[in-house]
Structure 1
Amino acid sequence: MLKPSDKWTWYYDDSEQHLMLDLGNDMVFKTNLSRKLIVECAIGINEFSVDDASAFQTYKEQISHLNLSEPRQAELALYCVAAKRFHKPVQPKSWFFDSLSDGSCVPEEGDFVKLANGHGEGAFIVLEVGDSASLCASIKLDEFNLNGHKSLQFGQAIKVMHDRMSVINHHFLVQPMALVG
C-alpha cells in the first residue's frame, strides 16, 4: 500500500488542467480536481504536509473496510486528501438529496454516510465537517446519479447539509464477535 512521504509534492498541471501529486520515482497521481474546483494557493508547488499525511491515514483506515482493490483504496484516499486541502469552499448542493425527518446527523471526518434521492442511494465518506453541512466524496465505483443529467464519479466531492445524511459506519466496520455458549 502507498505510504505518504515528505518528498511528495502537489502541483497544478496546465496541460492536464488538473491538480497533480508527484509521488517520486516517476510516479504522478492525477486528482479529480480541475482548475475551477481548486483554491488559488493550489496553483504552484505545495509540499505534501503533515496534515495531508494525517488525513491520508484517517481516510486510508476507513477506506480499508470497503470492498475495493488496494489501488482503488489508494486512489480514493488521495482524492479525499486533495479535496480536503484544495477544494474551493462551496455552498451545499443539498437539493440533489432527500431530506431525512430526524435531521440529527452530526458526522465526523472519515465517517461513512448514506445520501439518497429519487435515482437511488449512495455511500459517501465525510472529508470536512461544518456546522450544518459537510464536504463528502462518493465511494461508489459506479457513478451516482444526482438528477438524471448530472452525476458524481468515484471520489468526486460534494457539500451536503447534515439533514440529508445518515451515518452508516456500521455497514462497513465489522467487529469480531465471540459467541459464548
Structure 2
Amino acid sequence: MLKLSDTWNWYYDEEKSSLMLEISEEMVFRADLPRKVLVESAFKPQPFSVEDAHLYEMFQHSVRGLDISVPRQAELILKAVTVKRFHKPVQPKSWFFDSCGDDYQPEEGEIVELSNGLNSGVFLVVEASETASIVVSVNLEDFYLTESKTLAFCQPIKVMHDRMRPANAIYTQTNIRLVS
C-alpha cells in the first residue's frame, strides 16, 4: 500500500486532459474524471492536504476487507479521495437502480450494495448527503446500468439512499474477543 507523504501534489495536466496526483518522481496517479465534472480548484496546482490524508486513511480502512488486490485498493482509495475533493455537485441518477424502500442513511467510507434487473454490485460511499450519496464502483467487472451503459471500476455515480443496502458487514474484518 502507498505510504502518505507531504510531498504529494495535485495538478491538472492539459496535455492529458486529466487531474493528476504526483506521488513521486516515478509515480503519478491519473484521476481520469471528465473536465466537466471537476470544480475550479482542480485546475490549480496544490499539495495533498491534511484533509486529503484523513480521507485517504478513512477510505483505506474501508476497503481493507474487499477481495481486490493491493494495487486496486490503492487506485480505489485515490479515486475516492479525488471524487470527494474535486467532483462538482451532481443530480442523482437513481433510475438505474432498484428501490429497496428502506430509510437508510449511509456514512462516508461505507460499503453498500446496489442492484437492478441486470446485476448487483458493491460500491464505496464517497460523499454522503441527506438523501443521496456519490458512490464509486468497487466491481472489477463493469456494472451494467442498462444493456448498453456500464460503470467501470472506480467510476462515480450519485444515487438516492432508498436504492442502497448496507454491505459493510460482509466486507469488513472484525476481530472479536470472547471474554469470560
Q: CA RMSD in A?
A: 1.4
- Which residue of structure 1 lines up, in the alignment, with residue 3 of structure 2? 3
- The amino acid that maps onto 1:174 is Q
- The alignment of Structure 1 onto Structure 2 pairs a total of residues equal to 179
Cα distance 1:26–1:179, how it changes in 2: closer, same or farther (>3 A)?
closer
Report deviation, 1:176. Answer: 3.9
- The amino acid that maps onto 1:77 is I
Aligned equivalents of 2:74 and 2:152: distance in 1? 16
- Which residue of structure 2 lines up, in the alignment, with residue 139 of structure 1? 138
User: Residue 32 of structure 1 contacts residue 156 of structure 1 at CA under 8 Å; is this kept in 2?
Assistant: no
Cα distance 1:167–1:15, how it changes in 2: closer, same or farther (>3 A)?
same
Q: Does 1:25 align with 2:15?
A: no
Give the strand-richer structure, 1 or 2. Answer: 1
Is there any run of 5+ residues in structure 1 with no aligned partner, and where?
Answer: none
Aligned equivalents of 2:25 and 2:161: distance in 1? 41
Q: Which moved more, 1:171-180 or 1:84-93?
A: 171-180
- Which residue of structure 1 lines up, in the alignment, with residue 159 of structure 2? 160
Q: Which moved more, 1:131-140 or 1:62-71?
A: 62-71
Report deviation, 1:143. Answer: 0.9
Q: TM-score, normalised by structure 2?
A: 0.94
Report deviation, 1:177. Answer: 5.2
Report deviation, 1:174. Answer: 3.4
User: Residue 32 of structure 1 contacts residue 155 of structure 1 at CA under 8 Å; is this kept in 2?
Assistant: no
Percent of pairs with identical residues: 48
1:6-85 equivalences in 2 (<5 Å): 6-85=6-85
Aligned equivalents of 1:106 and 1:35: distance in 2? 30
Q: TM-score, normalised by structure 1?
A: 0.94
- Which residue of structure 2 lines up, in the alignment, with residue 96 of structure 1? 96
- The amino acid that maps onto 1:75 is E
Report deviation, 1:100. Answer: 1.1
Aligned equivalents of 2:160 and 2:98: distance in 1? 10
User: Residue 64 of structure 2 contacts residue 172 of structure 2 at CA under 8 Å; is this kept in 1?
Assistant: no
Aligned equivalents of 1:26 and 1:124: distance in 2? 30
Aligned residue for 2:120, secondary structure, equals strand
Is there any run of 5+ residues in structure 2 with no aligned partner, and where?
Answer: none
- The amino acid that maps onto 1:137 is V
- Which residue of structure 2 lines up, in the alignment, with residue 119 of structure 1? 118
Q: Does 1:169 align with 2:157?
A: no
